[in-house]
Amino acid sequence: MTEGTSKDGLVIVDKPGGMTSHDVVARIRRLAGTRKVGHAGTLDPMATGVLVLGVEKATRLLSYLTLTEKQYDATIRLGQSTSTDDAEGAVTGGASAAEVSAAALNNAVNGLTGEIQQVPPAVSAIKVDGQRAYRLARKGAPPELKPRTVTVCEFTVTAVHPAGDLLDVEATVRCSSGTYIRALARDLGGQLGTGGHLTRLRRTRVGGYGLEGARTLEQLAERFEVLPLAQAASAVFPRRDVSADEARRLAHGGRLTAEGHPERHRATQEHPTAAYAPDGSLVALLAEQDGQARPLVVFAGS
């Protein structure tokens, strides 16, 4: 396929294992024929599944999409800890998981469900004094990272596979942005006293974008298409239809009266509303404050 002509929209990629998220961005830049491509939420090289990329104007959506809920299918190996909390690290310890009962496993899983405090993995992209944690760890000086509040909405064990002193636990996890599944695996092993790490991770959903709408890089190379802006936004953000006059006002950075329905979604900077013009085009993302709806990012007329 020859390099494409870029369009505004999202590309939902089914990322293969062994590639970094940046590798995928580089491939989409070539296919789209533009350097203006970004992604919403990194996937580790080992992980596969939904990676949301924005092309041209759609890159302005990405910072809001990173805040959306995510869902994963994971395999956690109990009985071994590793230096990276996943299968790519060196084994650093562990204890037999052969005697872990279903009740003990369920209790530990329940303890890691809901709003929890989670210490990110030492080998992560979090910045410490201006440097990435993984770079410090590789230099032999892993930083002490502070716990953060995250929400694990669902942590469901779907199967267990004993293998001698090891126990592989398959699970579905639905969680807030910023949750590390590697850390969840580490902490599950910690609660059970066996050690634990992640051996498989597949992201099945980012907000309203799931595997059912994702395409492989091979499929995109054969036929490159983007999910248009208006359709992309409707999958994630509540909708507000505005008049032509209101659309023009928003396009110039003006404000509208807030919708004023207390029982409905109140748009915030973290959870905005998408404003649509009468022709169905996406005008802006809106946040409400003090009785007014202000544009966070404008797409029309730019």
Active site residues: 44
CA atoms within 13 A on the CB side of 223: 2
Q: What are phi and psi of 168, to 5 degrees?
A: -90, 125
Residue type, 131: Q
Instruction: Specify whether the CB–CB gap between 241 and 276 falls below 8 A.
Output: yes
Q: What are phi and psi of 49, to 5 degrees?
A: 110, -155
Q: Quickly list DSSP for 163-216.
A: ETTEEEEEEEEEE-TT--HHHHHHHHHHHHTS-EEEEEEEEEEETTEEGGG-B-
Give me the residues paired with residue 105 across strands. none
**Residue position matching structure tokens 């369920």:** 106
Taking the C-alpha atoms of residue 213 and residue 237, their distance in angstroms, rounded to an integer, is 17
Per DSSP (E only), the strands in 25-129 are 37-40, 48-55, 70-78, 81-82, 91-93, 114-118, 127-128
Among the listed residues 106, 102, 97, the one whose alpha carbon sits nearest the alpha carbon of residue 78: 97
C-alpha distance from residue 243 to each of 48, 62, 246, 274, 279 (Å): 42, 26, 5, 14, 10
Taking the C-alpha atoms of residue 5 and residue 225, their distance in angstroms, rounded to an integer, is 10
Give me the residues paired with residue 160 across strands. 169
Residue type, 163: A
Taking the C-alpha atoms of residue 39 and residue 63, their distance in angstroms, rounded to an integer, is 9
Taking the C-alpha atoms of residue 258 and residue 242, their distance in angstroms, rounded to an integer, is 12
Q: Which helix (H) or strand (E) holds 271?
A: none
